[in-house]
Amino acid sequence: MSATPPAPTPAAAAPTASDPLAHLVFFEPCIPGNSGAAIRLAALTGAHLHLVEPLGFEMSEARLRRAGLDYHDLAHVSVHPDLDAALAATGDGRVFAFTAATDVTLPQVELARGDVLLFGPEPTGLPEHVLTDPRVTSRVRIPMRPGLRSLNLANAATVAVYDLWRQVGYDGGV
């Protein structure tokens, strides 16, 4: 006699625009391919991508659409005229500014659903006036080998979003 397998447990509902996994904020991004890859990242994880103007490209640009492939309709993306508008749209989440200018590394930070992951433009990173904004909860650095400058923007955002998602147990994932 064989045992009946247990009924599958339903997966948690996928995050929505009103309840995103995270708010991914790109401050004045310059390279369309990075923002396109972030659109795909937002669709795959349930993050909400916020792009802060001025953008170094047009939203209709072919390189942006090619990098996002067919995920544009599945992602939550907003374009804001400035950082104030972007942060106002993220609600009360804590703001983590990603920069090489800190000793706090990503493995040291406890992230939570709804946190804001803030990244600067390629190739300069976040300017000092953004890093010292009182709404920034903490500066965070992604560990890497010494003497190297930085990860590609889309890759850094992916590392951060997936670390947050791991910390919340891949809620909503399969």
* Contact predicate 22/117, CB 8 Å: yes
- Residue 150 counted as an annotated binding residue: yes
| Cα–Cα distance measured from residue 79 to residue 121, given in angstroms and rounded to the nearest whole number | 15
State both tokens at 96: 């983590």
Number of H helices, E strands in the chain: 5, 6
- Residue 142 counted as an annotated binding residue: yes
State both tokens at 165: 């998602």
Among all chains, which residue has been given the structure tokens 């147990």?
169
Q: What angle is formed at CA 55 by the lines to CA 73 and CA 147, rounded to 5 degrees?
A: 105
Neighbouring residues of 124: CB distance < 8 A, sequence distance ≥ 6: none
Query: What residues form the annotated binding site?
Result: 120, 142, 150
Query: What residues form the annotated binding site for S-adenosyl-L-methionine?
Result: 120, 142, 150
